[in-house]
Amino acid sequence: MPTLWFFNMVKSFRVSDLQTLLASMGRSKSGLKQDLVGRALRLVQTEYSPELLKHVRQLYETRFPKASGWLAARRPEGVTAVSYPTLSSSPRGAMQGTDYLNGMPKLPAPPAAEVKLVPLPFYHNLETLLPPTELIAQNSEKLQDSQCVFELTQSQVDQIRNSSELRPGVKSVQVVLRICYTDSIGVQEDQYPPNIAVKVNQSYCHVPGYYPSNKPGVEPRRPCRPINITPWLHLSTATNRVTITWGNFGKRYSVAVYLVRVFTSAELFNQLKHCSVESAERCRERIQDKLRFDPESEIATTGLRVSLICPLVKMRLGVPCRALTCAHLQCFDAVFFLQMNEKKPTWTCPVCDKPAPYELLTIDGLLSEILKETEDVEEIEYLTDGSWRPIRDEKDKERERERSHTPDYPLVDICVPEANGHSPAHSSTSQTGKSAPGGPAVGSAGTGSTSGGGAVVDLTLDDSSDEEGGGGAGDSEDTEDSQDSPPPKRGRYDYDKDLVTAY
């Protein structure tokens, strides 16, 4: 019966290799890669012939020239590849670990050399302890166990022990485990299989949990990042054994182990300040390009407003930053952005929600100068010539209006007479029959004589006599009405209440 070695060789073939193998054996070569792999595996299991083995071996030697030959396949020095259990059992019994033609021992599975993991900003790879190698199910059970072993050299042990601490008990040089999809197209991000559990030297290590979701009906998401297995390792030349428990639900996964140097957000910020700062002149050119007149456009843009408040934390910008691929001029704070991605790596622009990886971040030199020149300004406007102006008055006026909630009314000058010849403050006194000081008496008989049709007021009377005389004469004409109706109320005008009459 075929050994696991032939199955692993077939699994490592590309689509063209699978089509060549199936065509040479008279099988259909159409379909997706998953279909071709399944068809080739069934072919190896059912028609295990010397001719088929020859085709498989030739294709594998062409695919991996360095590993050609049955005895030439060697592990990297100091590293033991993943030990995979056998596949499903055959009707005659379990598959044996030797080649029935040559009687050779079973060799380890070839590493998934094409799988490439995406580089992470906070992790710098120092050495590869185990290259990406596929996890293979041993049976049809949903829960699988796979093991891998590796050893550390004395130099690697010294690097870990002599490294600084990120926080108490956590070294900056670590051994991390990374898991991703088995896919040869592009670079792969970290992706955990379902029901994952990692045991290092008989002790379970911590695996990041799920992020809680505040939205109803949305499943919590798990942050997939490298797993630090350093605290559970033998920091010596002894062999370390890692057991990975994972859910087998049809997807293929690969595992790799690296010795890495972990950076903090402060260290990444220092690198960003020294290596990626866009000059003020280049920023002005970018502004002029955006505001350049386009004759084909019906709308002419004369200015672009930019807020000096960070959209992440709603505070004033400290170090304005954005991605080179972003089309907007609005910036976010670099320090807060790096700190947030250190805790929860998303690397997404908070302004446009597009990817903003660390290698594409740049500091805006022009906006940095503007922040130093302005202290109480929260918004500016870029003009067509690359200059800028603060938007202070409009903002302050709007805030003052929002705080007061008082509508703007025109001021009333109480000294200006109205159309009837009386000021608003005097109108109430005129209704009672009293004369205003220095003005003609209204509705009063008076004690003086008239000359030229005008009323003469006797100024020798005191206030009391004036009130009595004026009041009696004024009330003589409408005595009956005054007895039945209440006296008129003062303050008929809204603005009489708190105003003092000015003479």
Q: Where are the domains of the chain?
A: 1-62, 116-210+221-262, 267-393
- Secondary structure (H, E, C), 250-298: CCCEEEEEEEEEECCHHHHHHHHHHHCEECHHHHHHHHHHHHCCCCCCC
pLDDT band for position 397 (cuts 50, 70, 90): low
Out of 3.50.50.60, 1.10.238.10, 1.10.10.10, 1.10.720.30, which CATH number does the structure's domain 1-62 have? 1.10.720.30
Q: Which fold has domain 116-210+221-262?
A: Jelly Rolls (2.60.120)
Strongest mean pLDDT among 9-13, 17-21, 223-227, 288-292: 223-227
CA distance 457 to 443: 12
Is residue 466 scored above 80 in pLDDT? no
Give tens-digit pLDDT for 256-312: 999 999 999 999 999 999 989 999 999 999 898 888 866 666 666 778 899 999 999
Is residue 97 scored above 80 in pLDDT? no
pLDDT band for position 60 (cuts 50, 70, 90): confident
CA distance 248 to 360: 37
What per-residue confidence (pLDDT) applies to 341? 93
What per-residue confidence (pLDDT) applies to 208? 84
Average pLDDT of the residues in 478-500: 51
pLDDT band for position 385 (cuts 50, 70, 90): confident
What per-residue confidence (pLDDT) applies to 181? 92
Is residue 493 scored above 90 in pLDDT? no
Furthest-apart CA pair in the chain: how many Å?
A: 150
Give tens-digit pLDDT for 224-235: 899 999 999 999
- More confident: 212 or 330: 330
Q: What is the mean pLDDT of the chain?
A: 74
CA distance 57 to 395: 76
Q: Tell me if 116-210+221-262 shares its fold with 267-393.
A: no
What per-residue confidence (pLDDT) applies to 407? 57
C-alpha distances out from residue 416 to 157, 271, 427, 490, 502, Å? 95, 72, 13, 20, 10
How many Cα atoms are found within 13 Å in the side-chain-facing hemisphere of 13? 31
R_g (Cα) of the chain, nearest Å: 44
Long-range contacts (CB closer than 8 Å, 24 or more residues apart) made by 430-438: 431/488, 432/471, 432/474, 432/487, 432/488, 433/470, 433/471, 433/473, 433/474, 433/475, 434/467, 434/470, 434/471, 434/474, 435/470, 437/503, 438/503
What per-residue confidence (pLDDT) applies to 444? 41
Q: How far apart are the first and last CA of the chain?
A: 121
Out of 3.30.40.10, 3.20.20.70, 3.55.50.30, 3.40.30.10, which CATH number does the structure's domain 267-393 have? 3.30.40.10
Helix axes 50-63, 4-11, angle to 10 degrees: 50
What per-residue confidence (pLDDT) applies to 16? 82
- More confident: 456 or 215: 215
Phi/psi at 6 (5° precision): -70, -40
Is residue 471 scored above 50 in pLDDT? no
Regarding pTM above 0.75, the answer is no
By the 8 A CB rule, do 418 and 424 touch?
Answer: yes
By the 8 A CB rule, do 322 and 349 touch?
Answer: yes
Give tens-digit pLDDT for 138-176: 888 899 999 999 999 999 999 999 999 998 889 999 999
Average pLDDT of the residues in 468-485: 48
Give tens-digit pLDDT for 415-456: 555 545 554 544 444 444 444 444 444 444 344 444 444 455
Average pLDDT of the residues in 379-392: 88
The candidate with the shortest Cα–Cα distance to 84, out of 129, 34, 135, is 135
Average pLDDT of the residues in 38-57: 77
Is residue 395 scored above 70 in pLDDT? no
Strongest mean pLDDT among 28-42, 328-342, 480-494: 328-342
The candidate with the shortest Cα–Cα distance to 3, out of 92, 100, 81, 68, is 100
Q: Which of 36-45, 109-118, 154-163, 413-422 has the lowest mean pLDDT?
A: 413-422
What per-residue confidence (pLDDT) applies to 484? 55
Is residue 215 scored above 50 in pLDDT? yes
